[in-house]
Amino acid sequence: MSLSIKTFALTGAILLATAGGAFASTYATINYDTPVKDAPKKWADVVNYAQGGDDVKVLKCVGNYCYVKVDGPDGWIKKSALDFGGPSYPVYPSSPVQACFWGPGGYICIN
């Protein structure tokens, strides 16, 4: 079995394992200053404000909103205010890493 087929099979297995479960918490960067609300609704009460450039832990997403942990009261912010691009590519000079993939649980690297 070639490396590309093994890589494809491993990636598919990981996606299947994570797709059926609940949204795993991940990290994101806030794109711009935005209100933090007490519910995932447009007219919900504002309980806090998040600053653009801050990194936050995203616990779950519902529709167009995500529940995040921020300094002060946690709450819901618009999904469009979040950048899920992930951290920069990890570099391990002494490791024989052949490929890395960014997924819901972070980076997965294959030797």
Query: What confidence category does residue 98 fall into, taking pLDDT thresholds of 50, 70 and 90?
Result: low
CATH of span 3-110: 2.30.30.40
CB burial of residue 38 (10 Å; 0-12, 13-18, 19+):
middle
| Tokens of residue 24, six digits | 């795993």
0.85 surpassed by pTM: no
Average pLDDT of the residues of the chain: 75
- Spell out the domain ranges in the chain: 3-110
The identity of residue 92, as a single letter, is Y
pLDDT at 96 over 60: no
pLDDT the model gives residue 31: 92
Please give the Cα distance from 5 to 44 (Å, whole number): 48
pLDDT in tens, 36-78: 999 999 999 999 999 999 989 999 999 999 999 998 899 999 9
